[in-house]
Amino acid sequence: MLMKLKPVLDKANRGNYAVGAFNTNNLEITLAVIEAAVEMKSPVILQTSEGAVEYAGMEYLKAMILTAAKAKVPVVFHLDHGKDLKVVKKAIDSGYTSVMYDGSSLPEKENLANTKKVVAWARKKGVSVEAELGAIAGIEDFVSVEEKDAHLTDPQKALAFAKATKCDALAIAIGTAHGAFKFKGETILDFDRLKKIKALVKVPLVLHGASGIDAALVERTKTQCSILGDCARLENAHGVSDEAIRKAVKLGINKINVDSDLRIAFTAAVRETLINDKKAFDPRKILGPAKKLMKEVVKHKMELFGSAGKA
């Protein structure tokens, strides 16, 4: 069932769990996510980035996700990392039930003013708004922040920002990073900062750049790489550990974004299929295993986030 972000995250906030927000660009990803949500009886957020909109087109993505939303679990149709105000406005007018305005790389006054403008647009259409304060490092689609430009969210500023903008959810920076190369080793997140923000800010909190970059799946992307010549794929990739995610959820994170983990599962399965079946040329035979593996990844995330059984 199609839902707005606010009631889904408000329920997660009261129940102390997080809802997974999974980026989709195509049919296989969408099917993997919605089938997992139905099997796990979990609410889910299907989201499209500006990069996905450029790739597939907003109307195609909308048709696909609204079809998925006919499932008997809560489904939020969300715009992820909307930086271009024109794209954000178009999403609000086109049927998205939730949008994120990402002004985190702008001066704080400009981020505040733009976020308030987006909230005003969204209220007229009954659409929820996620905002962001603090810049998360890394590269993913149209999001690119160098480590030197990243900064963690100040708790007092988060309180003032949430009150002033009246946003429905707030994405914060506590040390995660976009993309597959988040850390040089073990996960290091500022949990004390998260505790302080949660104590002050009453809206649900969001964690971006939180893919786990599973080592076993990364290895699967390198099957027979010495023959194929792609052994450097995802070299030195590190993500956020499951232990760190569990702690973040326990301390008050209510929405967690996942993109890179799905990309890695897709790549691993497609490579394995083509390596193992030298005669395959039917896209359904090639992409079917990718959908299956992504579905397993999504199911694991729903268990990890605590949303399984909460539909």
The DSSP line for 93-160 is HHT-SEEEE--TTS-HHHHHHHHHHHHHHHHHHT-EEEEEESBPEEEETTEEE-GGG-BPPPHHHHHH
pLDDT exceeds 90 at position 182: no
- Position 52 scores a pLDDT of 96
pLDDT tens digits, residue range 105-126? 899 999 999 999 999 999 999 9
How do residues 224-258 score in pLDDT, each as one tens digit?
A: 999 899 999 988 888 899 999 999 999 999 999 99
Q: pLDDT for 51-71, tens place per residue?
A: 999 999 999 999 999 999 999
Q: Which two tokens stand for residue 171?
A: 């994405």
Tell me: pLDDT of 149 over 50: no
Does the pLDDT of residue 76 top 90, yes or no? yes
Task: Give the residue among 35, 30, 36, 32 at the shortest CA–CA distance from 305.
Answer: 36
Q: Residues 29-49: pLDDT tens digits?
A: 999 999 999 999 999 999 999
pLDDT category of residue 211 using cuts at 50, 70 and 90: confident
**Which is more confident, 181 or 126?**
126
pLDDT band at residue 187 under the 50/70/90 scheme: low
**Tokens standing for 286?**
């090639």
Give the per-residue pLDDT at 138.
46
Say which of 80, 102, 141, 168 is annotated catalytic: 80
* Confidence class for position 140, pLDDT limits 50, 70, 90: low
The pTM for the full model equals: 0.92
Query: What pLDDT score was predicted for residue 186?
Result: 66
H or E segment and range at residue 297: helix 283-305
pLDDT at 135: 64
pLDDT digits (tens, 9 = 90+) for 3-26: 999 999 999 999 999 999 999 999
Name the nearest CA neighbour of 49 among 129, 142, 180: 142
Taking residue 282's Cβ as centre, other Cβ atoms within 10 Å add up to 10
Distance CA 225, CA 275 (A): 10
Q: From the CB of residue 107, how many other CB atoms can be counted at a distance below 10 Å?
A: 9
19: left (phi > 0), else alpha (psi -120 to 50), else beta?
beta
Does residue 41 contact residue 49 with C-beta atoms inside 8 Å? no
Q: Which of 206, 164, 153 is nearest to 6 (CA)?
A: 206
For residue 235, the model assigns a pLDDT of 87
Average pLDDT across the chain, whole number: 92
d(CA 7, CA 289): 34
Share of the chain above pLDDT 90, in %: 83
Active-site residue, 282 included: no
* Cβ(101)–Cβ(122) below 8 Å: no
Instruction: Report how far apart, in Å, the C-alpha atoms of 304 and of each of 96, 104, 245, 299, 301 are.
Output: 27, 28, 8, 9, 5
DSSP state letter for 57: -
- Predicted pLDDT at 150: 53
Q: Residue type at 254? A: N
Backbone angles phi, psi at 25, to 5 degrees: -125, -15
User: Quick one: pLDDT band at residue 177, thresholds 50, 70, 90?
Assistant: confident
4 φψ region: left (φ > 0), alpha (ψ -120 to 50), beta (else): beta
| 141 Rama sector, left if φ>0, alpha if ψ -120 to 50, beta otherwise | left
Looking at the predicted structure, is the pLDDT value of residue 219 above 70? yes
Report how far residue 53's alpha carbon sits from residue 69's, in angstroms, rounded to the nearest whole number: 18
- Percent of the chain past pLDDT 70, that is, above it, reads 92
Region 76-99: what's the mean pLDDT? 97
Give the model's pLDDT for residue 180. 60
State mean pLDDT over 200-217: 92
Q: Predicted confidence band at 188 (pLDDT cuts at 50, 70, 90)?
A: confident
What 3-state DSSP class applies to 249?
A: helix
**Rounded to whole angstroms, how far apart are CA atoms 274 and 104?**
41
DSSP conformational letter for 233? T
Q: Which domains does the chain have, with CATH numbers?
A: 2-212+237-259+297-305 (3.20.20.70)
